[in-house]
A and B are shown apart, each in its own frame.
Chain A
Amino acid sequence: MSARARGYVAIAAVVLVGLVLTFGISERYHHRILTLVFLWATMGLAWNIISGYAGQISFGHQAFFGIGAYVTVLLAAKLKLIPWIGMLGGVGAAVLAAVLIGTPTFRLAGIYFGLATLAYPLIFRIVMDYLGYQEVAIPMMREQPGLFMQFEDPRAFDLLALGILAATLVLSRLVETSRLGYSLRAIKENEQAAEAMGVNSFRCKMYAYMLSAAPAAVAGAVYAHAILFVVTPDAVFGVLVIVQTLTVCLVGGAGTLWGPLIGAAIMIPVSETLDSTLGDKLPGIQGVVYGAALMAVMMFAPEGLYWRVRSVWSGRGGEAARTTRPTPVFAVASVTPAPAPRASGAPLLEVRGISKAFLGLQALSEVSFDVREGEILGIIGPNGAGKTTLFNVLNGFLLPDRGEVRWLGAPITGLEPHEICRRGIGRTFQVMRVFPRLTVEENVMVGAFVREGAPDRARARAQDALARMGLGGRACLVPTGLTTLELRLMELARCLATAPRLVLLDEPLAGLSSDGVELMSSMIRQAPAAGVTVAIIEHTMHAMVKLADRLVVLDQGRPLAEGLPGEVTRNPIVIEAYLGKRWLARHLATQGAIDAQDHRP
């Protein structure tokens, strides 16, 4: 059975268990607990889409739960609209709210996003109070209970809640296995690297936010009808809503659709039972239980039960995969079809007068050069010369203060990194930026999605790119199991999987043994034949002279010289900047030795 089919069979099994419980238990109170388990699992799954997969921790997700509840109930109370239709209004309002909240809030990174989301439900809560909706009762419709979601039989609510749970599980599964899911996981691991690999992080986060608002709104509407009967700001926008959501997700494990389910199945019965037995004498026992569960899980299994059990499980059988390793077949060629050469030898990339300063430090000033189709251009300079800053400007991480970058004749300054990647400029990083919790294959797939929308085809593309780097046997490992050379090759594979026309390689030889340097250099040398132009940063002159067709020398942010390796290495200004005056004196004495070394055509 394929992995995809297995996922849906497991969801069907969950539904089956849910049905058995629904028709197997008799006490009304147990039905209430069952409904709550399904509802909080749904709410947890909703939160999981934006916070688990995409890693954008939202402390305000009850905003959507509350909007779903309030809109549905108000439509029923004011317009006599049946909740089945009113719920759609609630979902619409929640998704709209997600867009309105997300548009400004996704500009904030990390903890700032989480803190900002705190404010929204508080605002809704205050506004509901102010509008006089402190208590909105669901109008009783005894003659048409089914039409107005007012079932006598508690099993009906179980089934309703189970239905939305099943739908949310399927939605989560679809997200997990889609291109969006891979992009979200890449964003969670390293947003900048994801952007550089062509992921439009803002749009992906926004889709995830909208997809997570919808089930939250449905859960809120059903919760209002099954449990509350009277909607109050505190009950749907209150702290306990987000606390239960967080608890079921974090106890079960975020970032997988099984986590919230496991968390809800454990936490909800425990806290409800305690509340019903001790709640009279000890009001607040539920809060203590949730608090203790959160603290315990963070101290002893911060990744959650699902991941903990899984890592124990796979720890037994996973060794075999590690040891097999096929003989590498190194070849860059035909990862990308060679594009038609640019007419009249016009430059591929034109860099014109780029300047960039950080708080008074002039990192780049008036840097201009061309990258020509099919060449290997070396950019060298001592540490702090501005080389990486230059790459960050070229791939869109930084906006230059002045100057322009033109790609195939059109300006690309000011474009987002993912747009620049899609246009055909790939890059690697000096300090490698891998997605640590994605497998090697999935790492490369993130790049492959730039050219392939379907996961299966992206996977095939990634496997192909990995095989060409000799990493075929490493595909299913996580990057932590790789050597530095393998990691650098993986980054190169990920970059080439985006089918770039130009790659910016930031110190690809750093930290490699001499064998590794040989291997990497030979890979890079093959690139132009495969239609990939290379711009490469190094600070070791020696490696560069052998590798590059042409050199640009930077010193303290200024271009110092440009030309053939032989010319540049003989240029006294370069030698002085690079190696100091003393070296220059010695060098002039032994000029011949350098001439002999420079044997490139």
Chain B
Amino acid sequence: MASELTQYVVTGLLVGGVYALMSIGLALIFGVMRVVNFAQGDFMMLGMYLTYFYAVALGIDPLLGALVTIPPFFLAGLVLHRVFLARVTGGGDPNREMDAQLILTLGMSLIITNATTMILSPTPRAIRTTYATQAFALGPVLLNQARTYAFVMAILLAGAMYAFLTRTDLGKALRAAADDPEAASYQGINVRAMHGVAFGVGIALVAAAGGLLATYYPIEPNVAVNFIVLMFVAVVLGGLGSIPGAFVGGLAIGLVQSLTLLVLPLQLQNVGVFVAFLVVLYVRPQGLFGRRARTV
């Protein structure tokens, strides 16, 4: 029993590492731009496909391919922000602006999902690797190799992200723009440009996470739906906009998903996640790591 529990915890954490990486992308976008990006799951899906095509066409191993999705997605993020998001305003009312941008990203998400279905067909695909079907044995506990590698890569990327935000000037400017856009702009920070950078980095992170996920998860156009909600849950759990919070939230979602299997059948796996989400919203709407209470 004890080893079974350990197995579930370990499996949950391994999956949670990848959730954590995707969630910090969403948290960064929300933290800096105050935009809940509904299309985040779709960029993850595109990251999976790009990694797939890297592997099929160029023979790049998906663990490396996931990293190589970062530059194109960063650039795409800058362009998408400039062309679409930056133009949507709510007439100066922050709430309306938030609603408008949320609906805009919802539209973006619909287009990406359905256009991908049209172009690439809804048939699921998979990347064949030698490590997808093998496991490390740690005593009685088995660690799927693909999940372990993906977990390690996700942690490294999240660490690099943290270093970027805390050590570099650009990272500090991003955090300043997130904390107080007005004060940041008085310090000579181009807040609008920071929004573009945040969107670019945010979707690049989730694309990379998608690439890592693709080592052990089937790739299909509709995959976004399942993951966007998990990301929302992780980000709210950690406190909307908090990067360390989203990281811990992602790990927690993996754990909850895995441990739910101990008490509920497989189909109800995500019910545990949603119930945890609702409980956190009601009990502590500012999240586990949120600094500010919500303003009514």
Mask of B225-252 contacts with A, CB within 8 angstroms, 1/0: 1000100110010001000000000000
SS class of chain B's interface: helix, strand, loop or mixed? helix
Tell me, yes or no, whether A97 is within 8 Å of chain B by CB: no
Please state if A119 and B274 are interface contacts (CB–CB under 8 Å): yes
How many residues of B sit at the interface, in one of the four size bands?
Answer: 35 or more
Could you say which residues of chain A place their CB within 8 Å of the CB of B107?
Answer: 290-296, 298
Among candidates B103, B267, B277, B296, residue contacting A294 with C-beta atoms closer than 8 Å:
B103
Contact of B118 among A109, A283, A295, A302 (CB under 8 A): A283
Interface residues of B in 95-146 (CB under 8 A from A): 95-96, 98-104, 106-115, 117-118, 122
Q: Is the CB of A295 within 8 A of B229?
A: no
CB distance from A354 to the nearest CB of B (A): 21
When the two chains form the complex, which single residue of B100, B115, B118, B270 contacts A298, counting CB atoms closer than 8 Å? B100
**Residue A295 contacts which of B111, B240, B277 (CB distance < 8 angstroms)?**
B111
Contact present for A130 and B267 (CB under 8 Å): yes
Q: Does B90 contact A (CB under 8 A)?
A: yes
Within 8 A of B (CB), among A283-327: 283-288, 290-296, 298-299, 302
Asked if B79 is at the interface of the complex by the 8 Å CB criterion, the answer is no
Report the minimal beta-carbon distance from A66 to chain B, rounded to whole angstroms.
Answer: 16
Contact of B165 with A by CB under 8 A: no
- Indicate whether A572 reaches chain B with its CB closer than 8 angstroms: no
Given B103, B109, B112, B282, which contacts A250 in the complex, CB threshold below 8 Å? B103
Residues on A with beta carbons closer than 8 Å to the beta carbon of B102: 57, 111, 114
Who on chain B is nearest to A240 by CB? B110
Q: How many A-B residue pairs have CB under 8 A?
A: 125
Does residue B84 face the partner (Cβ distance < 8 Å to A)?
yes
User: Cβ of A282: which chain B residues have Cβ within 8 Å of it?
Assistant: 118
Of the listed stretches A120-128, A330-338, A382-390, A443-451, chain B binds A120-128
A110/B118 in contact, CB under 8 A: no
Residues of A within 8 A of B87 (CB): 299
Compute how far the CA of A283 lies from the CA of B220 in the bound complex, rounded to whole angstroms: 14
Asked if A191 meets B296 with Cβ closer than 8 Å, knowing A243-B110, A282-B118, A286-B114, the reply is: yes
Cβ of A112 within 8 Å of any chain B Cβ, yes or no, is: yes
List the B side residues contacting A108 at CB < 8 Å: 281-282, 285, 294
Inter-chain contact B114/A127, CB cutoff 8 Å:
no
Give a binary string over B247-276; 1 marks a CB under 8 Å from any A CB, 0 the rest.
000000000000000000101101100110
Interface SS, A side? helix
- Judge whether A107 is part of the interface by a CB distance below 8 angstroms: yes
Contacts of A112 in B (CB 8 A): 236, 240, 281, 285, 294
Q: Does B295 contact A (CB under 8 A)?
A: yes
Interface pair B103/A110, CB less than 8 Å apart: no
Which residue of the partner chain A has the closest CB to B111?
A291
CA distance A105 to B228 in the complex (A): 20
- Complex: how many Å from CA A284 to CA B112? 10
* A246 with B114: CB separation less than 8 A: no
**Contact between B278 and A192, CB atoms less than 8 A apart:** no
CB-CB under 8 A from B108, the residues of chain A are 291, 295
**Chain A residues with CB under 8 A of B294:** 108-110, 112
Of A110, A296, A302, the most chain B CB neighbours within 10 A belong to A302
A283 to B121, CA, bound (A): 8
- A118 touching B229 in the complex, CB below 8 Å, given contacts A111-B36, A284-B117: yes
Q: If the complex has contacts A288-B114, A291-B109, A291-B114, are A110 and B270 also in contact, measured as CB distance less than 8 A?
A: no
Are B110's CB and A291's CB within 8 A?
A: yes
B184-227 contacts to A, CB under 8 A, are 221, 225
- B268→A294 contact, CB < 8 A: no
Interface size in chain A (residues, C-beta < 8 A): 42
Q: Name the residue on B nearest A110 (C-beta).
A: B95
Shortest Cβ distance from A261 into chain B, in angstroms?
19
Chain B residues within an 8 Å CB radius of A292: 107, 111
Decide if A541 is an interface residue (CB 8 Å cutoff).
no
Is A160 at the interface (CB under 8 A from chain B)? no
Contact for A127 among B95, B240, B271, CB less than 8 A: B271
B56 at the interface (CB under 8 A from A): no
Q: With the chains together, A246 CA to B109 CA distance in Å?
A: 14
**Residue B160 CB within 8 A of the other chain:** no
Q: Is the CB of B281 within 8 A of A192?
A: no
Closest A residue to B282 by CB, please name it.
A104
A129 at the interface (CB under 8 A from B): yes
> Does A115 interact with chain B (Cβ within 8 Å)?
yes
User: Residue A96 at the B interface, CB < 8 A?
Assistant: no
A106 to chain B, nearest CB (A): 11
Within 8 A of B (CB), among A122-141: 122-123, 126-127, 129-130
Pairwise interchain contact A104-B278, C-beta atoms closer than 8 A: yes
Q: Is the CB of A299 within 8 A of B88?
A: yes
Indicate if A239 sits at the interface (CB-CB under 8 A). yes
A88 interface hit (Cβ, 8 Å):
no
Q: Which residue of A lies closest to B107 (CB)?
A: A294
- The smallest beta-carbon distance between A200 and chain B, in angstroms, is 14
Inter-chain contacts of A114 with B (CB < 8 A): 102
A290 touches B110 (CB 8 A): yes
How far does the alpha carbon of A118 sit from the alpha carbon of B118 in the complex, in Å?
Answer: 26
Indicate if the CB atoms of B117 and A283 lie closer than 8 Å.
yes
Q: A283-B122, A295-B107 are in contact. Are A130 and B225 (CB under 8 A)?
A: no
Collect the chain A residues with CB atoms within 8 Å of residue B281's CB: 108, 112, 115-116
Q: Distance (Å) between the CB of B140 and the closest chain A CB?
A: 31
Between A123, A250, A282, the greatest number of chain B beta carbons within 10 A of the residue's beta carbon is seen for: A123
Cross-chain contact of B271 among A111, A123, A288, A290 (Cβ < 8 A): A123
Task: Indicate if the CB atoms of B278 and A119 lie closer than 8 Å.
Answer: yes
> Would A284 and B114 count as touching, CB distance under 8 A?
yes
CA distance A109 to B277 in the complex (A): 16
Residues of A within 8 A of B103 (CB): 246, 250, 294, 298
Question: Is B229 within 8 A of A119, CB to CB?
Answer: yes
Which B residues touch A104, using CB under 8 A? 278, 282
Contact yes or no, B267 A126, CB < 8 A: yes
A283 closest partner in B (C-beta): B117
With contacts A116-B281, A122-B270, A130-B267 taken as known, whether A294 is within 8 angstroms of B117 at the C-beta atoms is no
What is the chain B residue whose CB lies nearest that of A116? B281
Nearest A-chain residue to B95, judged by Cβ: A110
A235-292 with Cβ < 8 A to chain B: 239, 243, 246, 250, 282-288, 290-292
Q: How far is the CA of A299 from the CA of B80 in the complex (A)?
A: 13
Q: Quick one: given A130-B265, A298-B100, are A115 and B36 in contact (CB under 8 Å)?
A: yes
* Residue from B109, B110, B118 whose CB has the most chain A CB atoms within 10 Å: B110
Which A76-111 residues sit within 8 Å CB-CB of chain B?
A: 104, 107-111
Least Cβ–Cβ distance between A188 and chain B, in angstroms: 9
Q: Is the CB of A111 within 8 A of B267?
A: no
CB distance from A594 to the nearest CB of B (A): 41
Please, could you name 18 A-B residue pairs with CB atoms under 8 Å apart, sorted by A?
A104-B278, A109-B295, A111-B240, A112-B281, A115-B232, A115-B236, A115-B281, A119-B277, A122-B270, A127-B268, A192-B296, A283-B122, A288-B110, A291-B106, A291-B107, A291-B110, A302-B96, A302-B100
Report, nearest first, the 10 A-B pairs whose CB atoms are least far apart: A291-B110, A294-B107, A287-B114, A284-B114, A291-B111, A295-B107, A284-B117, A291-B107, A298-B104, A119-B274
10 additional A-B residue pairs with CB within 8 Å, beyond A287-B114, A291-B107: A108-B294, A112-B240, A112-B281, A191-B296, A192-B296, A283-B117, A286-B114, A288-B118, A292-B111, A298-B101
